[in-house]
């Protein structure tokens, strides 16, 4: 069965796109936790970061660089932003498809959650 994100990637479910390239898609979160809340999702299904392999190294780096480029594009690079990757139930992962949360445009407290 396809994940929610696979359905979005395959255009079976609509989403507000922030970015797309050959390796990933970035969408605006439907329940944003900050004024800017974008999900950067690899097109390759990796269920969670703990299941990534050395073969995924370049893809994982691409997700980080895409997040940085989006932060600039969305005007939050200078003021600051947070990148979050949840892993597993206790880590807050709700969709079993690795994705990076890009959050910004408000002060973000530490520690989170």
- List, by residue number, the catalytic residues: 99
Nearest to 49 by CA among 10, 13, 92: 92
Neighbours of 72 (CB within 10 A): 11
Is the CB of residue 51 less than 8 Å from the CB of residue 101?
Answer: no
């Amino acid at each position: 069965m396809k994940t929610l994100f696979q359905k979005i990637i395959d255009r079976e479910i609509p989403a507000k796109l922030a970015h797309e390239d050959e390796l990933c898609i970035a969408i605006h979160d439907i329940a944003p936790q900050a004024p800017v809340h974008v999900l950067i999702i690899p097109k390759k299904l990796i269920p969670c970061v703990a299941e990534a392999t050395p073969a995924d190294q370049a893809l994982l780096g691409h997700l980080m660089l895409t997040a940085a480029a989006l932060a600039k594009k969305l005007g939050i690079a200078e003021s600051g932003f947070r990148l979050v990757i949840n892993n597993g139930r206790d880590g807050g992962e709700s969709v079993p498809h690795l994705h990076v949360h890009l959050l910004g445009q408000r002060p973000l407290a530490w520690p989170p959650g």
